[in-house]
């Protein structure tokens, strides 16, 4: 892959990324991803980021469907092309219906979601908008996500993938070669179409 000459933090090439990953215990498959080719320029940081991902993705108490709905909603709301596109593939591998993923774009108007789905999507939107989950939505989570550890992971998952959406956009991390953006139909959220304005000019 040809890297843009003005990349904010240029990606490592594949061999250097894999070598860096091996030094700090990041799996080789993660090192192949564009985001880790950037993060592995700071090996200790990449290792700790990977540790959080490993816990949430492979050892989590939160149902995988609920986790992926959270991530897809964040990707859409935050205008993160990379996050939406990567997790579209993850969610499809988990056999979450494509129609459900599309409906995340306007979940309040959809009848595809059960009470647990709606509780985590509400929690996601409230956190992105107000910085915290409301008492009403927390009550809905207590009813629909009875495992206390899973509810804790709802909060951490929202924070984690919000961070990823921000770093992916700020570092302008490109999709892997040959990956089509914004599946399934190329629709792009408003936030992704709006250039970020500099606060230095105000």
In the structure, what pLDDT confidence band is assigned to residue 195 with cuts at 50, 70 and 90? Answer: confident
Calculate mean pLDDT across residues 158-175: 97
pLDDT of residue 153: 98
pLDDT exceeds 50 at position 1: no
Separation between Cα atoms, residue 35 and residue 46, nearest integer Å: 10
**Is the per-residue pLDDT at 166 higher than 50?**
yes
Q: pLDDT per residue over 13-44, tens digit each? A: 999 999 999 999 999 999 999 999 999 999 99
What pLDDT shows up at residue 170?
Answer: 97
Q: How confident is the model at residue 7 (pLDDT cuts 50, 70, 90)?
A: confident
Q: Is the pTM of this model over 0.85?
A: yes
Confidence bin at 4 (pLDDT 50/70/90):
low
Q: Is the pLDDT of residue 5 over 80?
A: no
CA-only gyration radius of the chain, Å: 17
Q: Which domains does the chain have, with CATH numbers?
A: 13-59 (no CATH), 63-186 (1.20.1290.10)
């Amino acid at each position: 892959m040809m890297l843009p000459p003005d990349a904010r933090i240029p990606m490592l090439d594949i061999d250097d990324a894999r070598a860096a990953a091996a030094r700090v215990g990041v799996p080789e498959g993660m090192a192949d991803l564009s985001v880790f080719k950037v993060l592995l320029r700071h090996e200790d940081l990449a290792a700790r980021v990977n540790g959080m991902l490993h816990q949430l993705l492979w050892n989590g108490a939160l149902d995988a469907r609920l986790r992926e709905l959270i991530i897809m909603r964040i990707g859409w709301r935050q205008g993160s092309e990379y996050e939406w596109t990567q997790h579209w593939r993850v969610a499809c591998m988990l056999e979450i219906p494509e129609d459900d993923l599309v409906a995340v774009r306007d979940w309040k108007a959809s009848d595809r979601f059960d009470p647990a789905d709606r509780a985590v999507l509400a929690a996601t939107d409230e956190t992105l908008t107000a910085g915290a989950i409301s008492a009403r939505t927390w009550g809905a989570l207590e009813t629909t996500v009875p495992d206390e550890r899973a509810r804790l992971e709802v909060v951490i998952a929202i924070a984690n993938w919000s961070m990823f959406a921000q770093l992916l956009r700020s570092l302008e991390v490109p999709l892997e070669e040959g990956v089509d953006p914004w599946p399934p139909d190329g629709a792009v959220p408003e936030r992704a179409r709006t250039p970020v304005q500099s606060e230095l000019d105000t």
